[in-house]
Amino acid sequence: MEEIVLPSFGSHEPAHHDASFIGRGFYWPMQVDHTGSIRLTDGPADLDRSMAVVLATAPGERLMRPQFGCRIWDLLFEPVTPNLLGLMAQAVRDALAQWEPRVIVEQVDPRPDGDDDALIVINVTYRVKATNDRRNLVYPFYVIPHEES
């Protein structure tokens, strides 16, 4: 049985460095570690991976949980406009609010990349509920460039 370690109040180490506050999960994409076990991730890296999985999954992709994912994929073929960026931000906010209960999303800022017309860089600023740490996730989202007719 695994021992649960709680942070002590007299510790010089801040409690937010204890990964047990955030949790532990499968490394994604799944991999095997040096012992032959499924590789796990914990702490802030677990949050980043979990959030990326939510954003990378289109609703309907998961067989036993078809609602899981982010509606950003509905916007894949739309021309990049300020309205589209607003819809993307809302889709990301909604998905993370529903599927990642360990965080509070403070800001979502999707911006077109200046060098690549197909790339939208989505900057997500969030706060970890358990530790109140403010963090940032940068998620690259590629759209199909709109063709002029």
> How confident is the model over 74-111, as pLDDT tens digits?
999 999 999 999 999 999 999 999 999 999 999 999 99
pTM equals 0.73
Contact between 57 and 68 under an 8 Å Cβ cutoff? The reply is yes
For the cut 60, the answer to whether the pLDDT of residue 17 exceeds it is no
Mean pLDDT computed over every residue of the chain: 82
Could you give the C-alpha distances from 20 to 17, 41, 100, in angstroms and in order?
A: 9, 11, 16
Rg, C-alpha atoms of the chain: 18
The range of the structural domain enclosing residue 83 comes to 15-142
Looking up residue 86, the CATH number of its domain turns out to be 3.10.450.40
| Within-domain flag for 10 | no
| Within-domain flag for 5 | no
> How confident is the model over 6-15, as pLDDT tens digits?
443 333 334 4
CA distance 32 to 25: 13
| Within-domain flag for 1 | no
Per-residue pLDDT, 22: 54
| Within-domain flag for 6 | no
Q: In percent, how much of the chain has pLDDT > 90?
A: 57
Specify the number of domains making up the chain. Answer: 1
